[in-house]
Structure formats: C-alpha cells, structure tokens
C-alpha cells in the first residue's frame, strides 16, 4: 500500500518493522511498561472508537500514530487528530489509514494528518498532486497553516 508523506509517495519503514513496533491502544494499555522498556520506536494504531483522551500526554511517546477511517462518512478520526495535535501537543507522524479519499485529503491535512496510506496503488500520484491544490486557508486548524487574515496582517 503506497504511503503519501510530505506530498510525495514514499516507502513505509513501519510496514516491514524496520522503523519500530506498532501497537493497538488495547496493547498499549495492557503492556505499557514492557513496551517502554524495549527501547524501540513505538507506533500506535487507533480505531475511530478509541478514546484519544485515554492516550493523553502519552501521545508524545509515539513516533507514529495511525488513525483508521473505516468509512468516508466517519468523522471521528478528524476529531482525534485535532485533539492529538492541539490538546496533547503531538508532533510526530500522524497517519490516516483505511478509507482515505482524495477529496478529503485537504481536510485531513487541516486536522493535522501528515501521512496517508493510499489503498489504490494506481491513484497514489493523483493523491500526491492533490496535496498542494489548496494554498489559502481561512480558519486556524491543526496543521498550523497561517490564515489569509494573518498573512495579510503580516504583509501590512
């Protein structure tokens, strides 16, 4: 499955385990101390039903947090991403998995996602082209892009 990160299709070092170990929230809760003692980079895979607030400040312990979009109509991962970025200060890789659609890519970015698993390998380049399609934003969000009002204020 192609990975889109920083606007380019790239290899996924987490896929083959060379980057570290990815665990579920349930595994993290049950084996937290053991996992931390392993001294390897950790990734966390969250389902939309997982309560991000139970991760809380532990979010900073993860090099990767992957949140699943089981259906394009499920908006819970957007809220989880914003909570991780804005409330808990997570600054690692935040990856969207599952039903990641090109039309929703900019919304995912605005909420703080910076990596995307693309289910259709033939569509990966189209997704990469979509990354820069929207260059002006009106509201502040999890991606910390300057709004058009802030840009105009700085220019004045």
Beta bridge partners of 22: 43
Predicted local confidence at residue 39, as pLDDT: 86
- For residue range 106-134, list pLDDT tens digits in order: 888 888 999 999 887 776 666 666 666 65
> Pairing relation of β-strands 115-117 and 93-98?
parallel
Question: 53 pLDDT band (50/70/90 cuts)?
Answer: very high
Are 151 and 140 in contact by the 8 Å Cβ rule? The answer is no
pTM across the whole model: 0.83
CATH of domain 3-155: 3.20.20.70
Q: Apex CA 40: angle with CA 93 and CA 80, to 5°?
A: 30
């Amino acid at each position: 499955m192609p990975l889109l990160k920083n606007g380019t299709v790239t290899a996924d070092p987490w896929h083959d385990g060379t980057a570290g170990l990815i665990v579920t929230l349930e595994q993290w809760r049950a084996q937290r101390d053991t996992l931390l003692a392993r001294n390897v980079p950790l990734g966390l895979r969250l389902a939309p039903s997982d309560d991000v607030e139970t991760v809380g400040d532990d979010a900073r312990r993860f090099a990767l947090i992957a949140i699943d979009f089981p259906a394009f109509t499920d908006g819970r991962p957007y809220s989880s991403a914003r909570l991780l970025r804005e409330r808990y200060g997570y600054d690692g890789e935040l990856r969207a998995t599952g039903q990641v659609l090109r039309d929703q890519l900019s919304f995912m970015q605005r909420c703080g996602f910076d990596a995307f698993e693309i289910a259709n390998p033939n569509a990966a380049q189209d997704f990469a082209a979509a990354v820069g399609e929207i260059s002006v934003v009106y509201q502040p969000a999890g991606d910390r892009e300057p709004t058009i009002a802030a840009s105009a204020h700085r220019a004045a």
